[in-house]
Structure 1
Amino acid sequence: MALNHDLFIHESDRTALNALKAIPGFTQLLRGFMKIWNERQFKLLNLSTYVRADETQMAKYHDMLVPICERLDIPVPELYVALNPYPNAYTSGDNEPFIVMTSGLINTVPEELLPTVLAHECGHIACHHVLYLTMGRLILSGALSMLELSPLITQPVSMAFYYWMRCSEYSADRAAAVCDGSGENTIELCMRLAGFDKNIPIAANKAAFLKQAEEYYKMVDESAWNKVMEFMMFNHATHPLNALRAYQCNKWTSTSDFKRMVEYLDDLDNGQQSTHVPMNVPLSSFLKKDANTVAAELREAGFTNVNITRTTQADGAAVNSAVAITAGGRTDIKVGEWLPADIAWLISAYVPLSEQEQRAAHPGQICVPYSDAGYCGRDYRTVVDELRALGFTNISVCEQADIRVKFLIKEYSVAHISIDHTDRFERNTWFRQNAPVSIRYHVMAQS
C-alpha cells in the first residue's frame, strides 16, 4: 500500500495552511480564484515557450522523474525546461500539475542533484500544495490585483500566504529526502543555492553549513528584538532560508520515523515484507465497515497478524460489520504511528445468533416476533392463534367493554397483552413455554 503523504508533511506546513484557510474572506477568495483561473493557460504557455522533457527530447530529465513518481505514488507530471539564468524550479497547475526547471538551475547544480530537485517539486504535488502555491504566486505577484478579487486580497491573507509557502518547502524537502533515502542531497542542494556553485573548486562542508543555522536560531532566540528583525527581513519571502531548510531536513532525517519510512518504501520497491508499517488512517475509519474488507485493507498495508472475532451484541450494527478493533490490545493508535508488521490486530465483527443458536441458548422457551405494542390493535383471535402456534399453552382472554367511538377503535382488537406478567416487552423476547399470557380485547360498551 502506498505511503500516506500526510506522514511527511511538516508540522508548520499543516498549521500554517489551516491558519490561512481560517482567515475571514479566504473561502470567498478561493471560490473567486477558481472561477477566473484556467489551467489551460499554463498549458498553452508551456507548449509555446519552453522545451518539454519527455521520452523524445531531453529524455534523461524525464527518466529521472519516473522513479520518483513511482516512489511517491503520484502520476508523472509534464516537465519543461525554461531559458532563465536564475536557478529555480517550480510546480503549478491543479488537476494536471507540471514542473518547470530553469537552465540556470541546470547550470548551477551538479546533475546528480537534479533528481532531488524533481523529488522536491513532486513532493509539492504529493502534499496537495499545487493549487494553493499557484494561487499564492499569482496573488503575491500582483497578477490578480486588477481583477474583482482585489478587495479580498487583504494584508492578513498576503502575510499568511507568504508564511505558508515558506513552510510548504519543508514538506517538499522531506519528500525529496524520502526519495533519496537520506537528507544529504537536499542539504547539498541548499548549499548550492546559497552560493556553492558547482564550478567552485572547493570541497563542501555540510556540517559547517548546518552550524550556520544553529547560530541563526540561537541568535533569534536571544531577544525579542532579534525576532522582530527576523520578521521584518523575511516576512515577504516565499521560501525559507537555505541554511534553515538544510537544518530542518537534517533534523527530520535523523528521526526513527524517517528511517522506518525509507525502509518501508525500499521494501515495497523490492517486493519484500517490511518490519514496521505506518498507520495511514484513523482507527475509527474501520468501524462500521465490513470486517472482511477491513482485514483485507490491513493485510494489504503490510500487517501479517490480522484476526476477526465474532460478537453477537451490537445495537443497530450491520451484519458482519466491524464494531470494535484493536492493535496489540490498544485502541489509541494514532495516524502516523509506526507499528510492528506482526502486531496482533483483532477485529470484532457483529454476527447475530442464528435461529438454531438462539433456540439452543433458550431451551424450553419461545421467542415472540412482536413487541407488546405490535400485538395491540390487532384482532385478538388472530393473536391467540399465532401465540398457540408458537407453543404457548397458558393463554387467557377477557373483554374490555369500553368502545364508544367505533371508528377510532376496532371491536375485538387487542387492548392489552402481558406475557409472564410482563406488560412491556420488545420483539424477539424469549419467554417460558408455559408462561401465563393474558389478553384483553375491546368490545362495544352497552348503553
Structure 2
Amino acid sequence: MSTLPVDGYQLEGISPRAFEHPADRAATAALATIPGLDQVVRKLIELGYERALRAAYLGSSVRLGPDQLGDTWNLHNQVFKTLDIDQVPELYITQMPFANASTIGSGKPIVVVNSELVRLLGRAERRAVLAHEAGHVLADHVMYHTALVILIRLGSSLPIIAGLPVMAVRRALMEWYRAAELSCDRAAALATRDPEAVCRTLMVLAAGAEADQLDLGQFMAQAQDFESGGSGLEKLSRMFLDLNMTHPLPVRRAQQLMAWVQSGDYDRIVDGDYMKRGEEPPARAEAGEAAAHYADRFRSAFREAGDAVGSATDQLADWLRKDRGGDGGGE
C-alpha cells in the first residue's frame, strides 16, 4: 500500500463518486426526495444569510498566502492540485480555542481553519485536513453545508421557510453531512496517500493533544471496539448519539476509513483505476437504495436492541423463578 505523498502525483479528472461512501450516496439521494429542499437552501442564500456568514468569517480571520503561514498555504494548493481542482478557494485562519476547519460559500467557497488546529497538527495532519476540505469542494457539498451552518446559527428563530419546517430541514441536512464527512475522509487519504495521517488527525481532534503524545495503534483498537463491541442496546445508543451531531464520532470515522482502505479500493484508485468526471452512471435507482439503506440501518439497530432486551428479560425471569423456588423450598 502506498502511503507517502509523491511529487507530481495527481488523480486526474477523478469523480467524487469514485470515493463516495455508501451512506453519503444514500443520504444525498434521500435529500433529493424532500420537496422544496433546494428552494429552502436558495432562499437562505437569497435572504443574505450567506453574506452575513461570510462577513463574520472574513472580518475575524486572516487570509493566508505565500507570506502568511506559507507552508500551510502551500499544502492547501497542493491538495487541490492533487484532486485536479482548477479553482483553489482562498484560505483563512481564525482564532478559535478548538481544532476545526470548514468550507463555506455556495458560489465562491472559502476554507477556514481554526488556529488551534494549526497549533496541534503536524505537517502531514494539516495536509490531511486541507485535503478533506478539498474533497468537500470536489463533491459539491458546499451549498448544502453552508445552508446547514446558517440553520445551526439561526436555531429556532426561523420555524418555517418556503413552507418547510426549518428544524426538519436541519435534521435532514445533518444526516447528509455526517455521511459526506465519511466520503471526504476518503478523499483526504487519497490526496495525501497517507490514510494513517487521516486517522492520526482524527485522534488528535478527539483528544486535543499533539500526536506525539498519543498512540495510534491503541486509538485504532478503540475504534474497532467502538464499532463492533457492546450489546444491542449500546449500539442503538451510539446510533442515536450520532443523530444529534453534525460530524460522525472520530473513532467511527477512523474505523470506517481503514475498513475502506483494507477493502482494496484505496490501492486501486491510487494506482489509477477510478471513475472520472463525466463517467458517472445515472442515479435513477438511488432514491430506492437510500430508503433501503436507512431502513436496514434502523431495523438492524432495533433488532439487536430487541434481542438484548429479550435476553435480559429471560435472565431476569430465570432469576425470579430460582428466587421463588428457593423461597418455596424453605417454607
**TM-score, normalised via structure 2 length:** 0.73
Q: Which residue of 1 aligns with 2:141?
A: 129
Maintained 8 Å contact 2:159/2:166 = no
Maintained 8 Å contact 2:182/2:253 = yes
Instruction: Judging by fraction of residues, say which structure has more helix.
Output: 2
Q: Which residue of 1 aligns with 2:267?
A: 259
Q: Distance in 2 between matches of 1:143 and 1:159?
A: 12
* TM alignment of 1:149-188, pairs within 5 A: 149=161, 152-188=164-200
Q: Which residue of 2 aligns with 1:363?
A: none
Say whether residues 1:67 and 2:78 are aligned partners.
yes
Q: Distance in 2 between matches of 1:120 and 1:243?
A: 17
Q: Which residue of 2 aligns with 1:18?
A: 29
Larger Rg over CA atoms: 1
1:205 to 211, 215, 219: 215
Cα distance change on mapping 1:284 and 1:60 into 2, 3 Å: closer
Alpha-carbon distance, 1:68 to partner: 0.7
What residue identity is the alignment partner of 2:114? T
Q: Distance in 2 between matches of 1:177 and 1:70?
A: 15
Q: Distance in 1 between matches of 2:280 and 2:208?
A: 47
Q: Which residue of 1 aligns with 2:63?
A: 52
1:104 to 116, 129, 146: 116
Alpha-carbon distance, 1:186 to partner: 0.4
1:24-60 Cα deviation digits (max 9, x unpaired): 4424423422422465445544443211001332222
1:72-130 Cα deviation digits (max 9, x unpaired): 12221100000111111111012211111111111222233111111111111111111
Q: Distance in 2 between matches of 1:48 and 1:99?
A: 14
Any stretches of 5+ residues in structure 2 without a counterpart? Answer: 1-11, 283-331
1:230 to 230, 238, 248: 238
What residue identity is the alignment partner of 2:227? Y
What residue identity is the alignment partner of 1:81? I
Cα distance change on mapping 1:284 and 1:33 into 2, 3 Å: closer
Cα distance change on mapping 1:201 and 1:277 into 2, 3 Å: closer
Cα distance change on mapping 1:91 and 1:251 into 2, 3 Å: same
2:225 to 215, 225, 247: 215
Q: What is the aligned residue count?
A: 270
* TM alignment of 1:363-374, pairs within 5 A: none
Maintained 8 Å contact 2:50/2:146 = no
What residue identity is the alignment partner of 1:191? M
Alpha-carbon distance, 1:201 to partner: 5.7
What residue identity is the alignment partner of 1:69? F
Q: Distance in 1 between matches of 2:265 and 2:108?
A: 31
Q: Secondary structure at the match of 2:271?
A: helix
Cα distance change on mapping 1:185 and 1:57 into 2, 3 Å: same
Maintained 8 Å contact 2:94/2:113 = yes
- Percent identity at matched positions? 29
Alpha-carbon distance, 1:4 to partner: 1.4
Q: Distance in 2 between matches of 1:91 and 1:56?
A: 22
Cα distance change on mapping 1:184 and 1:60 into 2, 3 Å: same
Q: Secondary structure at the match of 1:141?
A: helix
2:128 to 105, 116, 119: 116
* TM alignment of 1:265-280, pairs within 5 A: 276=273, 278=275
Q: Distance in 1 between matches of 2:207 and 2:271?
A: 33
Cα distance change on mapping 1:17 and 1:277 into 2, 3 Å: closer
Q: Which residue of 2 aligns with 1:293?
A: none
Q: Distance in 1 between matches of 2:165 and 2:178?
A: 19
Q: Distance in 2 between matches of 1:81 and 1:279?
A: 32
Cα distance change on mapping 1:23 and 1:40 into 2, 3 Å: closer
Q: Distance in 1 between matches of 2:79 and 2:266?
A: 17
Maintained 8 Å contact 1:8/1:171 = yes
Alpha-carbon distance, 1:214 to partner: 2.0
Q: Distance in 2 between matches of 1:47 and 1:277?
A: 37
What residue identity is the alignment partner of 1:16? A
What residue identity is the alignment partner of 1:234? D
Q: Distance in 1 between matches of 2:180 and 2:94?
A: 23
* TM alignment of 1:340-351, pairs within 5 A: none
Alpha-carbon distance, 1:210 to partner: 1.9
Cα distance change on mapping 1:53 and 1:282 into 2, 3 Å: closer
Maintained 8 Å contact 2:13/2:277 = no
Maintained 8 Å contact 2:20/2:183 = yes
1:274-294 Cα deviation digits (max 9, x unpaired): xx4646555989xxxxxxxxx
Alpha-carbon distance, 1:197 to partner: 1.0
Maintained 8 Å contact 1:85/1:104 = yes
1:35 to 24, 32, 46: 46
1:319-361 Cα deviation digits (max 9, x unpaired): xxxxxxxxxxxxxxxxxxxxxxxxxxxxxxxxxxxxxxxxxxx
Maintained 8 Å contact 2:104/2:145 = yes
Q: Distance in 2 between matches of 1:22 and 1:187?
A: 33
